[in-house]
Amino acid sequence: MSEIVSLIITLISGAAGGNIAGSVLSEKNLGALLNTVLGALGGGVGDFILRALGVLASTGAAGAASATGAVPAGSELDIAALIGSIAGGGISGGILTAIVALIKDALAKKM
């Protein structure tokens, strides 16, 4: 799976994860726009961190096969990489949105 496709998938799933976190924490909801932006940002950053740690592979099995000179059967879409990008982006987008919502709530209580 190409890097740009993986980035788009993680941004979209991060935005979805941010909105899900906003709806779960309904009393701390930041609004649809901020939930979406924070979720997409969290999805992108989470994807970067997971790839740097080696949790998500930067290329799927088809990409590795083409790097060695073998011709992959079918397209370069690797279902494991796709599911990993969706899960990683959604979870990290939801986590960042929840963290920002909790910090905003804590700061509002201090004032």
pLDDT of residue 68: 56
Counted domains in the chain: 1
Query: Positive or negative CA dihedral for 24, 25, 30, 31?
Result: positive
Which residue positions in the chain have pLDDT lower than 50?
A: 62-63, 71
The whole domain housing 64 covers 3-110
- The CA dihedral of 76, 78, 84, 89, to the nearest 10 degrees, is 30
> Which pLDDT tens digit goes with each residue over 39-69?
999 999 999 999 899 888 765 554 455 555 5
pLDDT of residue 65: 52
How big, in percent rounded to 5, are the helix, strand and coil portions of the chain?
Answer: 75, 0, 25
Is 78 within 8 Å of 63 (Cβ atoms)? yes
